[in-house]
Structure 1
Amino acid sequence: MLETEKVSVVVPTYKVEKYIHRCVNSILKQTYENLEIILVNDGSPDQCGEIAEGYKQSDSRVKVFHKENGGLSDARNHGMKQVTGEFTMFVDSDDWLEPYAIEKMVHHSLAFKADVIQSAFYYAHEDYLLFDQRHYTKNGDLMILDNEKLMHELVKNETVKNFAWGKLYKTKLIRDIPFEKGVLFEDVFWAHQVMHRVNMFVILHEPLYNYYQRDDSIVTTYTPRNLDILKGLKERHAFIEKEYEELIDESFKTILKTSLIHYNLLSMNRKVDRDRHHRKEIQSYITDNYFSFQQAIENDKHLSLQLRLFYKHPYLNIFYLVSKKVVRKLKVFSKPVGLEKIKLKSRKEVQTL
């Protein structure tokens, strides 16, 4: 039986000895104290296991589990089996929480009888934070979404993110929905199954989660495994066609935007696609679904142009995007409102937020 008002925080750890203290300390120092911190050492070759055991010795709320390496999904699934709280949160081990994050999320979940609470978040760099002003307003009123509005926002992935982290879930809602193992972007395979069950979803505009941004470039670290996101989106699309017919166009739009991005990334990093197998696969999918895409994006002039150019030849679209980027740098176009940059005085300040 789940313990009322207790929050179980699942933290998978693997090769994060540099960041794990910042993460775990931010959970232990929460103003909300009825916690269970589940640290899952996913066969990490560094000191993560030993560090986790140290926390277990110093705080009775910490539970530690060691397992063979199986990836983030497998570690989360393992952690979920140990959960005893009414609520569950996932925190990635290089991220961290604001001190009052859990208290505020639990308060709003109880007040609104919400199945899931999502907060805004910071994109956290070493010496500055970025806040997304396009979709959140720091002092804005909370948003309450029913299932229909929630699924629409999830497919758009702007205000409601596909990320598993940054949300407080009622444990009974997610307990029997495991993360798919062996894939990247595992949240895309998982989130729509969860949100399909949600009746009440609340968004807090205040940033309560810090999403750490490593310096690695996606171009230099890109591998064909990154294409798992397209697999996940297509799997979700089949679900949308069955359950939410009114969202088919929005789903096609998301798939198209993501397909174009990954075609361009493969073109920039050709060594991972020497025989053009993956690019041909993307091109064939776009060509085969051209008219569905065209219908889905008829009100988006920019994306419609990209689709037409890509259909004629993929490199025409790449040339168009490069040209647009150059023009923007020359300040011919004004920059849209985007991310607010918050400078930090020092690296130490980042670690103590």
Structure 2
Amino acid sequence: MKKKEMVSIVVPIYKVEKYIHRCVDSILHQTYSTIEVILVDDGSPDNCGSIAERYKELDPRVKVIHKENGGLSDARNYGMQHATGEFIVFVDSDDWLEEKMIEIMITNSLDHKADVVQSAFYYAYDDKLLLDKRYNDNLNNLDNKTLMYELVKNEKVKNFAWGKLYKTKLIKDIPFKKGVLFEDVFWAHQVMQRVNNFLILHQPLYYYYQRDDSIVAAYTPKNLDIIKGLKERHEFLEKHYGELTHESYKGLLKMSLIHYNLLLLNKEKDRDRLHRKEIQSYIIDNYQQLKEAVENEKQLRQQLYLFSLHPYLNVCFLGFKKGLRAIKILPQPVGLTRVD
């Protein structure tokens, strides 16, 4: 009988006692059984460490690593170092998997000789499931140039590390950046540069759990790490994929405008306006390049122009459009579909 490829599944664990059983059970009950499950206890102060040890006692496929708290990136890096499989999957510990996820992804990877396979996913709430149904193709095979474009666009190809099956040799020497939020944005483009064949499965196989925490209530300036990550990626693109700089500028503008408004809603966390001033300076200093990048994007072009006059004009513009949608003069933006 032909040897089955081993899949290493890395699960960082920190303060998820409430969710860990759902996550790990969904992995151990996979129809593809040639797996090793690497549970990385990142110094969790609750009972996660002992729960992980019980799983290790019950199933020989489970490995447990206990370490001092170093954050999600550090925990993933530890997991990668201990992975022995030909393939790696990352799972966040409050998420869970369809029982055939690994089987479907490994089969498709081998059949299509894909370096990375990405599945669709559910936005999983306590009372509903939402799905992005804009892309209904059965499969998409992307070459490197198309892949990088789609990664920057962040619609078909997501920056998330989870929800993908990677060839281990592709990623093992590319660590996640420690000490940042949105670490995937700092990491994904480095990986995708090495990919010759990227496969998208539009079948949802991963449940991305949405906690109740409000982004406005939980917002801190640390969330601005995502802009740092996009700027770092922009420099990489300028060097290696110059034709994608306009698309990159679009993403930077969108994210800068979003976070400027979030900082406005959280003025007490930016009392001296340093963070808002930094965003405003970036937009003004790069105004001409941003203007060229959004030439064919009517709303972004309008937002950029209004913001350059005064940031509050952009806020008023968005509020006005929201009001028009509320009274159905403007259509609602295309969003997620409830599927349960």
Please state which band the TM-score falls in when normalised by the shorter chain: over 0.9
Q: CA deviation at 1:12?
A: 0.2
Query: Which residue matches 1:261?
Result: 258
Q: Distance in 2 between matches of 1:339 and 1:182?
A: 32
Is 1:10 paired with 2:7?
Answer: no
Counterpart check, 1:320 vs 2:317: yes
Shift of residue 334, structure 1, vs aligned partner: 2.3
Q: Deviations over 1:276-303 (max 9, x none)?
A: 0000000000000000000001000000
Unaligned runs of 5+ residues in structure 1 are 344-353
TM-score, length of structure 1 as denominator length: 0.95
User: 2:118 maps to what in 1?
Assistant: 118
Does the 8 Å CA contact 2:138/2:203 hold for their aligned counterparts?
Answer: no
Structure 1 stretches (4+) deviating beyond 4 angstroms?
none
Q: CA deviation at 1:337?
A: 3.8
Q: Secondary structure at the match of 1:291?
A: helix
Please state how far the C-alpha of 1:248 moved relative to its aligned partner: 0.6
Q: Deviations over 1:90-125 (max 9, x none)?
A: 000000000100000000000011000000000000
Q: Deviations over 1:123-143 (max 9, x none)?
A: 000010000122x32xx3200
**Alpha-carbon displacement from aligned partner over 1:243-275 (angstroms, at most 9, x marks no partner):** 001001000110000000000000011111000
2:307 pairs, out of 304, 307, 310, with: 310
Identify the range of structure 1 (327-336 vs 144-153) with the bigger mean alpha-carbon deviation. Answer: 327-336
Secondary structure of the 1:262 match is: helix
Q: What is the CA distance between 1:326 and its match in structure 2?
A: 1.6
Contact 1:133 1:337 (C-alpha < 8 Å) held by counterparts: no
Secondary structure in structure 1 of the residue aligned to 2:82: coil
- Is the CA contact (8 Å cut-off) linking 2:4 and 2:34 kept in structure 1? no
The count of residues paired between Structure 1 and Structure 2 equals 338
Q: Among the aligned pairs, what percent are the same residue? A: 68
1:330 CA drift (Å): 1.5
What does 1:198-217 correspond to in 2, within 5 Å?
198-217=195-214
Equivalent residue number for residue 273 of structure 2: 276
Residue identity in the other structure for 1:15: K
The two structures have a TM-score, normalised by structure 2, of 0.98
CA RMSD of aligned residues (A): 0.9
Could you say what secondary structure the match of 1:151 adopts? helix
**What letter is aligned with 1:121?**
F
1:301 to 298, 301, 317: 298
Letter paired with 1:155: V
Q: Counterparts of 2:293 and 2:56 in 1: how far apart (Å)?
A: 52
Partner amino acid for 2:102? I
Letter in 2 for 1:234: K
Partner of 1:16, secondary structure, is coil
Matches within 5 A, 1:1-353: 5-134=5-134, 136-137=135-136, 140-343=137-340
Hey, what's the Cα distance between the residues in 2 that align with 1:81 and 1:243?
28
For 1:241 and 1:294, how far apart are their aligned partners in 2?
Answer: 17
Shift of 1:149: 0.1
C-alpha separation between the residues in 1 aligned to 2:261 and 2:333?
A: 23
The one-letter code matched in structure 1 to 2:77 is N
In 2, Cα distance between equivalents of 1:245 and 1:336: 31
Secondary structure (helix, strand or coil) at the match of 1:68 reads: coil
Q: Distance in 2 between matches of 1:204 and 1:141?
A: 6
For the Cα contact (< 8 Å) 1:4–1:85, is it kept in 2?
A: no
Q: Which residue is 1:346 aligned to?
A: none
**1:26 partner amino acid:** S
Q: CA deviation at 1:338?
A: 2.3
Distance 1:4 1:342, change over 3 A: closer
Deviation at 1:4, TM superposition (A): 6.0
* Ranges in structure 2 where 5+ consecutive residues have no aligned partner: none
| Corresponding residue SS for 1:221 | coil
Superposition deviation, residue 332 in structure 1 = 1.5
The AA in structure 1 aligned to 2:87 is F
Matched position secondary structure for 1:242: helix
CA contact (8 A) 1:10 1:79 kept: yes
Task: Kindly indicate whether the alpha-carbon contact (under 8 Å) linking 1:4 and 1:86 is maintained by their aligned counterparts in 2.
Answer: no
